[in-house]
Amino acid sequence: MVSEVRDPGVFEVVKEDRHTGARLGRLWTAHGAVETPVFMPVGTQATVKALEPRDLRGLGASIILGNTYHLLLRPGMDVMAACGGLHRFMGWDGPILTDSGGFQVFSLNNLRKIHAHGVEFRSHIDGSKFFLGPPEAMSVQRILGSDIAMCFDECMPYPCDAQYACQSVDKTLSWAASCLQQERAPGQLVFGIVQGGEFEALRERCARELSAMGFDGYAVGGVSVGEPEDVMLKGVENGVRCLPRGRPRYVMGLGDMFQMCESVARGVDMFDCVIPTRVARHGTAYTRAGSYPVKGGSYKMDQRPVEEGCECYCCSHFSRAYVRHLLNVGEILGVRLLTIHNMHCYLRFMREMREAIANDCFGEWRQALAAVLRPGGLKSRAAL
């Protein structure tokens, strides 16, 4: 049962696992409550690719993500302001989190120059120059009217040397303090972002200094950027360890199911990733037993649903053979159906994880998941 309505920014820790850092939580925003642990579908261009807002609601999505960098370029803040902000523009009445453009500092490293007060970008669309720093990034997010705005930071690459990492963390901390001074949209929350790469002391320092600034929530950034899994999970652990218990914790850009489970065990509450929509466009289906290529020739005559036992719209009405056919002839419906299934799979996964924590069986659930999704488990074509 959801408790009475609370002011934006209230985070309730509802239950904690006795043996790990896993916990159930509830974050209140200006557009309603978000039950955690939660997976946030990514709507980079003011849409979660191939899905309508009513699809997302029907699938159980409670919060989605938008992108400062891309929406600044197209449609632009003049359009966004005239249309009343991102919620009205895209027809979504639930909570929205917007990233700040910090990830594009990493992903578009050939199109930017980093300065003391921000980053000069060349547009990936037409090459025109524009600047993003704390004031600019927060101004864009204020116009978008997101429920949660992320601080502008530098998402550093992997690997990087210790001197560069230290300088990068200095920038991220300076920019975070500046972000807190900027004007916000009514009810808008602001999250700080822990950086530090693979360096434990830097992660801990960044987390402690951000915690002292008093953000509404905190993210661990700069993970899942090409590093080995053990390094990534250690980075999450080092970042989370020094964050306050009474605030939500978010790992940015992480979408591997096993890694999300392991991060929850370390005390993480929120995730986002493009995986379920991106791989659907390339013909890959996710299931409880792993992923497989629906476009493969072995499924040409397969009358089974994409995932046996799944109750999503795709699996309730269509066969693998049909979805494969649509994908291989370039029909838009194929991408849409597979996206519906993949998103259902991800949101079901998070519901089941919340239920496991609620029922005091998270440890057993985590162990069973590892047996399926790790090497040597059931992740094989025969299981799918």
Task: Tell whether domain 11-273 is in CATH 3.50.50.60.
Answer: no
- Check residue 4 and give its pLDDT: 74
Determine contact, residues 153/195, Cβ cutoff 8 Å. Answer: yes
Q: For the chain, give every domain's residue range.
A: 11-273, 280-373
Q: For 281-294, give one letter per residue: b (16+ CB within 10 A) or e.
A: eebbbbbbbbbbbb
Determine contact, residues 168/106, Cβ cutoff 8 Å. Answer: no
> Is 303 a residue whose pLDDT tops 60?
yes
- CB count, 10 Å around CB of 174? 13
In the sheet where 270-273 sits, what is the strand order?
A: 38-41, 270-273, 249-251, 217-220, 189-194, 148-150, 96-99, 64-67
Q: Which residue carries 């309508």 as its tokens?
A: 52
Q: How confident is the model at residue 3 (pLDDT cuts 50, 70, 90)?
A: low
- Check residue 371 and give its pLDDT: 92
**Token pair for residue 6?**
């609370």
Would residue 218 be called left, alpha or beta, if left means φ above 0 and alpha means ψ between -120 and 50 degrees? beta
DSSP class of residue 42 equals B
Would you state the torsion angle of the CA atoms of residues 371, 377, 382, 384, taken in this order, to the nearest 10 degrees? 40
Q: What is the pLDDT of residues 177-207, one digit of tens each?
A: 999 999 999 999 999 999 999 999 999 999 9
Residue 12's DSSP bridge partners are: 26
Would residue 161 show up in a list of annotated catalytic residues for this protein? no
**Token pair for residue 225?**
């950027």
Percent of the chain with pLDDT over 90: 95
What global pTM score does this model have? 0.96
* Mean pLDDT to the nearest integer, 341-367: 98
Of 17, 55, 99, 216, the active-site residue reads 99
Q: What is the pLDDT of residues 259-283, one digit of tens each?
A: 999 999 999 999 999 999 999 999 9
Of 17, 55, 153, 272, the active-site residue reads 272
* Mean pLDDT to the nearest integer, 98-120: 94
- Check residue 2 and give its pLDDT: 54
- Check residue 134 and give its pLDDT: 98
For helices 332-358 and 362-373, give the axis angle rounded to 10 degrees.
Answer: 140
Q: How confident is the model at residue 377 (pLDDT cuts 50, 70, 90)?
A: low
Q: How far apart are CA 267 and CA 34, in angstroms?
A: 16
Q: What is the pLDDT of residues 157-168, one digit of tens each?
A: 999 999 999 999
> Is 381 a residue whose pLDDT tops 70?
no
**Token pair for residue 180?**
């807190």
Rounded to the nearest 5°, which phi and psi values hold at 47? -160, 140
> Is 107 a residue whose pLDDT tops 70?
yes
- Check residue 374 and give its pLDDT: 85
> Taking all residues of the chain, what is their mean pLDDT, rounded to a whole number?
95
